[in-house]
Amino acid sequence: MNVFLVCTGLGHINRGYESFTRECFDALKDAKEFKLYLIKGGGKSINNEITLPNLPRIKKTANFLAKCFSTEAYTIEQFTFCLSLLPLILFKKPAVIYYSDFKLGTYLWHIRKLLNLRYKLLFSNGAPNGPPFKTEDHVQQLSPVYLEQAIKQGASAEMQTLLPYGFDINIEERLTSLNKKNIIRERLGFSNTQKIILSIGAVNMHHKRMDYIINETAKLGSNYYLIILGQFEVETEQLMSLAKNKLSGRCTIANVSFNQVKDYYIAADIFVLASLNEGFGRVLIEALSYGLPCIVHDYINARQVLGIHGVYLNMQKENELAQYLDIENPQLNHLNLIQDVYKYYSWDSLKDHYIEMIEKLSSQIFK
């Protein structure tokens, strides 16, 4: 039985969707219950990893066509990727196509209907989207709040599975890395006396609210240094200008590879995510798994993801973050924290549940 794990941005950009898809494939690729293929938009094709031609959203051609058709470059990427995917579907005949990009799933639903194909569509609802779920056969809900909301709005409980994102967490590796914190800080150009605030996400103002973090950090002492990592967007240039004016010499804004991000997790003292809502927020668990205190806006999904390990503030209020950091010096027990995160979110703990979800959906083809 063939299963496609699909992500159009993998190989082009670094978001939660891409890091999840990469880790999910690595965790499940040796499963005996099915043959898993990673279908991606960039990088090399090797073994069961297949790269398909497409027009990535970051390329000029995609942006030009988006203007011509009054749409988004992201839509161009999804559509052109789907066209390339069709021959592979006809040849490999997957039982399940597992994806996170809602638009791609919609295209795949129409193709299935048009060509009378049989594959099942498994949607990892990370945004989140819906209900109603009209173009999905099964939905992976990442947090209880979204499962409860969907059921209240009429979505069938049977077509949904509550299953959080899995993470590649090695307790020994994490603790060994943290013991090298001072060495890594020095390599990155930071002193041991600096307080490093880290925020990771799309470098924008409308969702991740990086401007709030810049303005709040500017109210703190000169020993505080802000690092913002993530995918650059239209608002990034404006944020860089704001940081230059408010935090001259005390801020780094960069887009780096995931392997490089690990060093920044180790070097940092505090993690902050200022968005007012998230579908899950993979960066929160990644930060916790490196022993970082996580400061977030107070909303129900953040509390369900972080539990007792989060610091919850009203980040709609000016001065809220600055006042907290000026008074508090959050410290956590690294070993206990990493062990807790491993227990609830590691692939070692969740792998069998993912296999069961995929198997259960695939079995519906033969009924």
Given a contact cutoff of 8 angstroms between Cβ atoms, the answer to whether 5 and 24 are in contact is yes
pLDDT score of 286 more than 90 = yes
Helix (H, G, I), strand (E, B) or coil at 162: strand
Task: Give residue 307's identity as a one-letter amino acid code.
Answer: G
Task: Give residue 228's identity as a one-letter amino acid code.
Answer: I
Rounded CA gap, 132 and 137, in Å? 12
Q: Which domains does the chain have, with CATH numbers?
A: 2-167+347-366 (3.40.50.2000), 171-344 (3.40.50.2000)
Please report the pLDDT score of residue 367 as a whole number. 61
Q: Which two tokens stand for residue 232?
A: 């650059």
Given a contact cutoff of 8 angstroms between Cβ atoms, the answer to whether 267 and 190 are in contact is yes
DSSP 134: S
Q: Which of 191, 164, 182 is nearest to 288 (CA)?
A: 164
Please report the pLDDT score of residue 328 as a whole number. 76
Helix (H, G, I), strand (E, B) or coil at 224: strand
pLDDT score of 91 more than 80 = yes
Percentage with pLDDT > 70 across the chain: 98
Given a contact cutoff of 8 angstroms between Cβ atoms, the answer to whether 166 and 354 are in contact is yes
Q: Which of 117, 118, 123 is nearest to 98 (CA)?
A: 123
Rounded CA gap, 276 and 296, in Å? 8
Mean pLDDT of 86-106: 96
pLDDT score of 159 more than 90 = yes
Task: Give residue 331's identity as a one-letter amino acid code.
Answer: Q
- Please report which helix (H) or strand (E) contains residue 82, including its range: helix 73-92
DSSP 100: S
Mean pLDDT of 131-149: 94
The string of pLDDT tens digits covering residues 319-356 is 999 999 988 777 666 788 899 999 999 999 999 999 99
Q: How confident is the model at residue 265 (pLDDT cuts 50, 70, 90)?
A: very high
Rounded CA gap, 14 and 12, in Å? 7
Q: CB 188: neighbour CB atoms within 10 A? A: 16
The string of pLDDT tens digits covering residues 233-246 is 989 999 999 999 99
Q: How confident is the model at residue 38 (pLDDT cuts 50, 70, 90)?
A: very high
Percentage with pLDDT > 90 across the chain: 85
Please report the pLDDT score of residue 353 as a whole number. 98
